[in-house]
Amino acid sequence: ARQGTPSGYRILNETDLRDYLAGIAAVAAQLGGPADRWSITEVGDGNLNLVFIVKGTSGGLAVKQALPYVRLVGESWPLPLSRAHFEHLALTHQGRLAPGLVPAIIHHDPALALTAMELLEPHIIMRKGLVAGAIYPAFVDHITTFMARTLFFSSDLALSAAAKKEAIASFAGNHALCKITEDLIFTDPYRSAEQNRWTSPWLDATAADIRADLDLHVAVSRLKLQFLSRAEALIHGDLHTGSIMVTETETKVIDPEFAFYGPMGFDVGAVLANLLMAYFASVGHERSPGEREAFESWVLSTVDQVWSGFAGKFLELWRSESTGDAYPLSLFPGEAGAARLEAERQAYMARLFQDAVGFTAAKIIRRILGLAHNIDFELIADERRRASCEARALRLARTLMVETASFTTIEAVTRAARELRQW
């Protein structure tokens, strides 16, 4: 055991994992064959954890183990292993609320901070597909169902006040992961911080402008306050395209270790932001003019449909499954009451859209000027071209964050993105 970690915890290597898994009946049954014939490879390329792919003679598994520190930075940045518990809890809820859209859990070991899940094959991380210019026709329907169902059914619109308060409490301990978001997304990119980085001197002036932009600092501080204080629903908390695995026909949302009760717009904004970054990065990647046009037009129409599809599904759930303590139906009798309630639902969605626009902007800025970057931009080899893609994305983000109220439709957002693409 390591100092500061719970007894029973040890970091596993491939050999330890083989011995450990061989003793778990459900795992051995899933894999098939003798344990010494299983292939085990550590493949984690995320910022925090170990991820092993285990293949037996009849099946496979993905095994995720939390490290007691941030993998991206090293042991100098400790991080609680309890995140594996919250991830397991969130996955369990999401599997119930959005069946088929998250991986099945085969085994969880709280002491080892380890979860064995169904192996998603031939799925790939969506971000990698987007960098290669791939189009995912089923994605919109799946991600809008995932967000509408997980957010609606964990909100006050669906839960009793007591159940909601219990649910908030069950995730309250995940504050170390929230703190990462509070610092890396809502604070550091707007000040001089040791961990900030950007990948070319072409962005120095833009980064300095952002550090001096008080309108932007007010806007991001309002978003941070929302993130800190608005326990609206069980959010995934890190719903970028690296947390989504896809094929042409399937979508699986993975990695909810940042889950807690927070503002719904944070998840919606994460999806929109990452699609918009794929759009701005597209011109930096090698592809034929025809492929580029098809990809960019698909991405922008996907941005439109992610919001409209999510809003439509969320509203439909509210109209048909309103079992929560918010908006008691007895207060809205008759036709006049129903009309008034429907108007209120539309106003609620308009407010949620504004939240999502602000969070979209915050998620873009952090990926370009903060600690954690993404391959959409980073794999653009030509430094100047990469900086130009990033500068366009930053320009959109600044406008979205400071002039949020002027974006009342998703089409206004995609129009602004298209104009900046030509800039």
Residues in contact with Mg ion by the rule CB under 5 A: 46, 255
Backbone angles phi, psi at 63, to 5 degrees: -115, 125
N-term to C-term CA, the chain: 56
Give the CA radius of gyration of the chain.
22
CB closer to Mg ion out of 46 and 56: 46
Q: Which of 26, 43, 72, 212 touches ligand SR1 (CB under 6 A)? A: 72
Cα 251 from Cα 100, distance rounded (Å): 9
CB closer to ligand SR1 out of 175 and 319: 175
Question: What is the side-by-side strand order in the sheet with 49-55?
Answer: 39-42, 49-55, 60-66, 114-118, 105-109
Cα 22 from Cα 15, distance rounded (Å): 11
CB closer to ligand SR1 out of 117 and 180: 180
Cα 270 from Cα 363, distance rounded (Å): 6
Q: How many CB atoms lie within 10 A of CB 364?
A: 27
349 makes contact, choosing from ligand SR1, Mg ion, none, with CB < 5 to 8 Å by partner type, with none
Q: Supply the minimum distance, in Å, between the C-beta of residue 47 and ligand SR1.
A: 4
Q: Supply the minimum distance, in Å, between the C-beta of residue 47 and Mg ion.
A: 7
CB closer to Mg ion out of 149 and 236: 236
Instruction: Candidates 179-187, 197-205, 245-253, 412-420: pick the segment binding ligand SR1 (CB under 6 A).
Output: 179-187
184 makes contact, choosing from ligand SR1, Mg ion, none, with CB < 5 to 8 Å by partner type, with ligand SR1
Task: Build a one-symbol-per-residue string for 2-31: x at contacts with ligand SR1 by CB under 6 A, - elsewhere.
Answer: ------------------------------
72 makes contact, choosing from Mg ion, ligand SR1, none, with CB < 5 to 8 Å by partner type, with ligand SR1
Q: Which two tokens stand for residue 55?
A: 């293949």
- Are 157 and 322 contacting, i.e. CB atoms less than 8 angstroms apart? yes
Q: Supply the minimum distance, in Å, between the C-beta of residue 23 and ligand SR1.
A: 31
Residue with the CB atom nearest Mg ion in the bound state: 255
Q: How many CB atoms lie within 10 A of CB 327?
A: 15
Q: Which two tokens stand for residue 242?
A: 């690296």
CB closer to ligand SR1 out of 48 and 148: 48
Q: Supply the minimum distance, in Å, between the C-beta of residue 48 and Mg ion.
A: 6
Q: How far is CA 117 from CA 62, 77, 121, 196, in A?
A: 5, 27, 12, 34
Q: Supply the minimum distance, in Å, between the C-beta of residue 36 and ligand SR1.
A: 35
Q: Is 269 helix (H, G, I), strand (E, B) or coil?
A: helix
Q: Is 180 in the site for ligand SR1 (CB under 6 A)?
A: yes
Q: Is 196 in the site for ligand SR1 (CB under 6 A)?
A: no
- For residue 246, give the DSSP letter: E
CB closer to Mg ion out of 17 and 180: 180
Instruction: Candidates 23-31, 148-156, 176-184, 318-326: pick the segment binding ligand SR1 (CB under 6 A).
Output: 176-184
Q: How far is CA 21 from CA 42, 48, 92, 116, 385, in A?
A: 15, 22, 21, 9, 47
Q: Which of 163, 372, 379, 402 touches ligand SR1 (CB under 6 A)? A: 372
Cα 80 from Cα 300, distance rounded (Å): 38
Task: Build a one-symbol-per-residue string for 47-66: x at contacts with ligand SR1 by CB under 6 A, - elsewhere.
Answer: xx------------------
Q: Supply the minimum distance, in Å, between the C-beta of residue 180 and ligand SR1.
A: 5
Q: Which of 40, 67, 70, 116 touches ligand SR1 (CB under 6 A)? A: 70
Q: Look-up: residue for tokens 């947390």?
A: 243
Q: Supply the minimum distance, in Å, between the C-beta of residue 155 and ligand SR1.
A: 23
CB closer to Mg ion out of 143 and 391: 143
For residue 317, the Cα-to-chain-centroid distance in whole angstroms is 22
Strand segments (E) across 248-338: 251-253, 260-262
Instruction: Classify strands 39-42 and 49-55 as parallel, antiparallel or unpaired.
Output: antiparallel
Q: Is 254 in the site for ligand SR1 (CB under 6 A)?
A: no
Residues that bind ligand SR1 (CB under 6 A): 47-48, 70, 72, 180-181, 184, 238, 372
